[in-house]
Amino acid sequence: MSVDYRKVHDQVASLSPSVSLMAVSKTHPYEAVLEAYGQGARLFGENRVQEAASKFPEPSRRPEGMKLCLIGHLQRNKAKRALEVFDRIDSVDSLALMDELEKRLAQLERTFPILFELRSSGEEQKTGFADEGALMEAVAHLEACPHLILRGLMTVGPLDGGGEGTRMAFRRTKALYDRLIAQGLELSVLSMGMSGDWTLAIEEGSNEVRIGTAIFGARNYNA
């Protein structure tokens, strides 16, 4: 096992010291998570509720400061479990999911931080609110979901949009993020950029990047 969190952290910090680094640990064992934690990682991302639930201890039993975010698509029937496992859900992408989370949180009498995911590349195979209009509708719907606390936006760059296509997707998301802040929303997280495009993302205003392969190595999807 070879974990290079410190090396990647230093690379990110050299470009922008204020950018947070999320270590995406999907398919990698908890031992690798602990190694990254030992190198300074505190923020981790997982794509699937079931994998995270089986891998990570309950929040109260995690090492001090360890936070876990859901960055993959969340099905409504897994909303209850997701709220038990994760500290933040970054992939909220529909009004129906918002309503399900709100219902569960109202029962628990607690609030919960989320990000809205924007499908900035326009690719149909990706999840996320389809466009700015759909996301603005979700912002308005927050009035009906007082237990959901919007902290910011997340997006994934295009699979094969090239440098310019990726840059435009990130630029579009940053513009919407700035617009929401100008309207009075207290946002703090703009999550853009992964192992292959994080430098572009930071250039376009990202303040949180999600990096997995460069930290943990190649993923074993058969594990």
- pLDDT greater than 60 at residue 1: no
pLDDT in tens, 8-47: 999 999 999 999 999 999 999 999 999 999 999 999 999 9
pLDDT at 163: 84
Q: Across residues 52-58, what is the average pLDDT? A: 95
pLDDT at 80: 97
pLDDT at 161: 59
pLDDT at 214: 94
Q: Which two tokens stand for residue 11?
A: 């690379």
Query: What average pLDDT is seen over the chain?
Result: 94
Those residues whose C-beta lies under 8 Å from the C-beta of residue 45, and which sit 6 or more positions away, are 22, 23, 24, 25, 26, 68, 69, 70, 71, 90, 210, 212
> How far apart (Å, rounded) are the C-alpha atoms in residues 139 and 218?
37
Q: What percent of the chain has pLDDT over 90?
A: 88
Higher pLDDT, 102 or 123: 102
Question: Model-level pTM?
Answer: 0.95
**222 band by pLDDT with thresholds 50, 70 and 90:** low
- pLDDT greater than 90 at residue 171: yes
**223 band by pLDDT with thresholds 50, 70 and 90:** low
pLDDT at 35: 97
pLDDT at 201: 96
Residue 46: φ, ψ to 5°: -130, 150
> How far apart (Å, rounded) are the C-alpha atoms in residues 210 and 21?
6
pLDDT at 164: 87
> Taking every pair of C-alpha atoms in the chain, what is the biggest distance, in angstroms?
47
- pLDDT greater than 70 at residue 99: yes
CB atoms within 10 A of CB 214: 18
Find how far residue 131's CA is from the centre of its chain: 18
Rg of the chain on CA atoms, in Å: 17
- pLDDT greater than 70 at residue 221: no
Report the sign of the C-alpha dihedral through residues 129, 148, 21, 30, in that order.
negative
Q: Across residues 79-91, what is the average pLDDT? A: 98
pLDDT at 182: 98
